[in-house]
């Protein structure tokens, strides 16, 4: 039986769509001379998308389980334990 794929809420983009939109916003802001109002709107949208993507990554991280082989050859499931966050990671989570 094929596992069912969860779909995003009707108005919610997929993670991949959010990343694509973020990439477009960054490119637009880097390559164009936009009016200040447009830059601010894109910055606000980008900030929302960063939060959305961070939430999706946190949800995925919680679902990850590591397979760990015991000395007798059997395999057990162990909950994923992320490494300690660096100072850079802490700054990235501010958005």
pTM above 0.85, yes or no: no
Q: What is the DSSP string of 11-60?
A: TPPPHHHHHHHHHHHHHHHHHS---HHHHHHHHHHHHHHHHHHHHHHHHH
CA distance 18 to 21: 5
CA atoms within 13 A on the CB side of 4: 3
CB 92 within 8 A of CB 51: no
Q: Domain coordinates of the chain in residue numbers? A: 15-92
Report, as an integer, the average pLDDT of 2-11. 56
Condensed to tens digits (0 to 9), the pLDDT of residues 10-49 reads 688 999 999 999 999 999 988 878 898 999 999 999 999 9
CB 77 within 8 A of CB 65: yes
């Amino acid at each position: 039986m094929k596992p069912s794929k969860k779909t995003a809420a009707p108005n919610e983009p997929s993670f991949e769509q959010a990343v694509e939109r973020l990439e477009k916003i960054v490119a637009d802001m880097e390559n164009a001379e936009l009016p200040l109002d447009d830059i601010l709107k894109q910055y606000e949208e980008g900030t929302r998308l960063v939060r959305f993507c961070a939430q999706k990554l946190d949800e995925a991280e919680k679902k990850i389980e590591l397979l760990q082989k015991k000395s007798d050859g059997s395999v057990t499931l162990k909950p994923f334990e992320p490494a300690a966050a660096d100072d850079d990671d802490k700054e990235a989570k501010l958005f």
